[in-house]
Amino acid sequence: MDKVNALNDLRAGIDEIDRKMLRLFAARMDKVSAIAEYKRAHERDVLDKAREDRVLAQTEIIADQDLRRYAADFMRTLMDLSKKYQREYLARKQKQPIEISRNGEQDRKKDGVYSDVQVYNDGHVSARVSESGVTVGIQGIPGSYSEEALRDYFGENVNRKSYGNFADVFEALQAGEIEYGILPLENSSTGGVAEVYDLLCLYGFHIVGEKCVHVNHNLLAPVGAKIEDIREVYSHPQALLQCSNYLKKHPEWTYISCSNTAVSAKLVRDSGLFQRAAIGSLRAAELYGLDILERGISNKNDNYTRFIIIGNSLVLKPNNNKLSLALTLPHEPGSLYRTLSHFAENNLNMLKIESRPIREKNWEYLFYIDFEGNLLDQKVAKAVESIRANSSFFRLLGNYRADPVTS
């Protein structure tokens, strides 16, 4: 009984210390919010490494070296909480939170699409993805895989515009020449298309849909040409990579890059030279009157390219199930860990994370994240808001319906 009383007395002493610590913690966080306001007014970064080092040096007052290590860990945790609190405070002051209005939902719903949504600082935007009568831009010409993605996603009853490169599609959307653009974002064999990732953040458009296209590469040549005639092979760099195993069997060939697989097919057709071949689709062979010298020359039979549909507005639908984010993180220990923890805490399934170097800043990176969810779900909206609050830069790229790959 005496032992139990002794334990209870010790715990009572700890409880009293904890109460004092909590009161001190609240007082400390009041000072932290004042510091956050000062940093906002004077455009100072949340992280102050020199200040953190000085705070950790204060643990020297603890004589017990083993205990001093724990004290340093305690202070690091406390400073991590302070930085998180500052960022969330600044986010509330500087940015509008994600708010998905449900009032008048039936009135705003038209053709299965919400035409009135709230997104960050963009206010209310009109967002309607129509399946007919719109003008859609692609990089490339008829016979390209981009055109195939357009046909699969929008159908035949759309106005099409072709552009020479990816940036031209973004420029056309910005200028109002087109309502949507279709661009390749990643391939199952060769990975992401770096230029498109960079352009997404540069222009700030939203992903409103995606289409996965089965890429079936073939060797195409002028009518009458034979394999032994070929000396030059033209195609997009990604297509050349995706057919590298086949091309290695012909070391005598020279590879020449083109802006698009269909462009390479047209070039070979226009030249009429038997020494030239192109890597492209069966549709390109049909459109440009080329013979198919070899079928299915991709490294993988299940070779897919994921195309994204971009538009000016964030489109929210009840059946959207995929989100894409772009963000940078504070250059400090644990920042990526803290960001990823929001997915686990909210039971959200991450589909992909990819990093891209920031051109203006050596050894700093922009992260692209895809995960399952719908912003109409408040749990998802809360998680996204938490991620945004802890990011140095944040952009919600889109919330859309995933296109499953069926073998």
Choosing from 154, 170, 305, 371, the catalytic residue is: 305
Strand partners, 110: 113
DSSP H or E run through 25: helix 2-41
| HSE-up (13 A, CA, CB side) for residue 290 | 36
Q: What CA–CA distance (Å, rounded) separates 107 from 275?
A: 62
| HSE-up (13 A, CA, CB side) for residue 331 | 10
Q: What CA–CA distance (Å, rounded) separates 162 from 147?
A: 9
Which tokens sit at 367? 């992260």
Burial class (CB in 10 A: 0-12, 13-18, 19+), 288: buried
Q: Other CB atoms closer than 10 Å to residue 268's CB: what's the count?
A: 29
Choosing from 154, 166, 307, 343, the catalytic residue is: 307
The sign of the torsion formed by the CA atoms of 1, 19, 341, 362 equals: negative
At which residue do the structure tokens 């069997």 appear?
Answer: 249
Is 406 part of the annotated catalytic residue set? no
Is 339 part of the annotated catalytic residue set? no
Secondary structure (DSSP) of 176-201: TS-SEEEEEEEETTTEE-HHHHHHHH
Q: Other CB atoms closer than 10 Å to residue 95's CB: what's the count?
A: 14
Q: What CA–CA distance (Å, rounded) separates 337 from 100?
A: 28
Which residues form the catalytic set? 305, 307
